Amino acid sequence: MAATVPSLKIAVLHYQPSGEPMDPVVGHIVEALKELGHETVTVSVHDRVFDLLQAIEQAQADLVFNVCETFADDYRLEVNVAALMEMARIRFTGSGTAGLLLAQDKILTKQLLGYHEVLTPNFATFDGETFETNGRMKFPLIVKPARSDASLGIGRHSVVSDWEDLTRRVREIRKEFSDQALAEEFIEGREVYVGVIGTSTRPEILPIVELDWGDWKKGEPKVSDRGVKFGPDVPGSPRLKMAKELSADLQARVERSELLAYKALKINDYARVDFRISEETGEAFVLEVNPNPYLEKQSELAMAAKERGLSYTQLIGRIVDSSATRQGLKVTKHPEPSAPPVVKG
């Protein structure tokens, strides 16, 4: 039996700087919601708190589909947008303040996952005056801002091979981002992405997606930077594919780590966890937990859903169903042929 939300009025909340085109993902979500029978309205925000709350109030929506990942040109304020809606008792999809805050801080994420015995690369943190290490580390290391999104501050230059390069990169991050720097052991190996949808009590793990590095230059460290994620799709460029030839044991370990991260970081409705599978040890290390992964039609999550047999519209419907169930909106039950299996943690 599957939970299906009756027709609702849903506001799609998104970030919209003045003079810039609307992100295509907003149109994709609106189209899917309409196909599901919901009434939709878009709510765009930029840098005024009053405008944000007023626009949501005027929308008179039953539910806000939240894809607002930035506020006032600062990606770190996505947490504040969720906090405002929580204080105003507005129902919205996706993770709340706790989940967004825990996942946004990569150091806190690693510490929490370590407590739950989820493998992450050994690391050190630098706050500008002191540094702390967690586990024995060896070069090469990859250095990144402690709080970042969409690979900001990450590139091939982030991989360092000695203390001089490490110190230089830490100083650059401190200057550019005014943030702590996080240095991790650089894991050579396969990079895979694992999506999950549903409530924390009934999460469903989606098929595993892998990054095919294409004609990557030999000897260059494989870093999934903004060029890899958002660059043009040309022959030989990195691209996504469904992961093959994963042993049953490895897949089970990856899925276990995924579920533990989903629950430990208090994530709601959907997420994507990024892993590196070490070519040296075969272990799967969590690199990052994304509580609000990009939802456009060609994204990792949509690709995994399609492999499971879910259309893009059905994926968006599952997210709405999860949010509605979690927040007590009325749902109806009906049989669903060949329903995908639910993986329980």
Q: Average pLDDT in the 111-122 region?
A: 96
Cα–Cα distance for residue pair 9/28, rounded to 1 Å: 17
* 280-334 per-position pLDDT tens digit: 999 999 999 999 999 999 999 999 999 999 999 999 999 999 999 999 886 555 4
CA distance 4 to 17: 34
**Residue 258 pLDDT more than 50?**
yes
DSSP 312: H
Contact 223, 211 (CB under 8 A): no
What are the start-end ranges of the E strands in 46-100? 63-66
Query: Which H or E element spans position 97?
Result: helix 97-104
Phi, psi of 323 (to 5 degrees): -65, -45
- The phi and psi torsions of 221 (rounded to 5 degrees) equal -65, 135
Higher pLDDT: 75 or 289? It is: 289
Return the bridge partners of 64, or none.
Answer: 11, 92
pTM over cut 0.95: no
> What string of DSSP letters covers 48-61?
-HHHHHHHHHHHT-
The stretch 17-23 carries a mean pLDDT of 90
The pair phi, psi for residue 66, each rounded to 5°, is -90, 110
**274 pLDDT above the threshold of 50:** yes
**pLDDT tens across 184-213, in order?**
999 999 999 999 999 888 899 999 999 999
Side-chain-side CA neighbours of 190 within 13 Å: the count stands at: 21
- CA–CA distance, 63 with 216 (Å, rounded to integer): 44
- Residue 66 corresponds to which amino acid? N
What is the rounded average pLDDT of the residues 245-270? 96
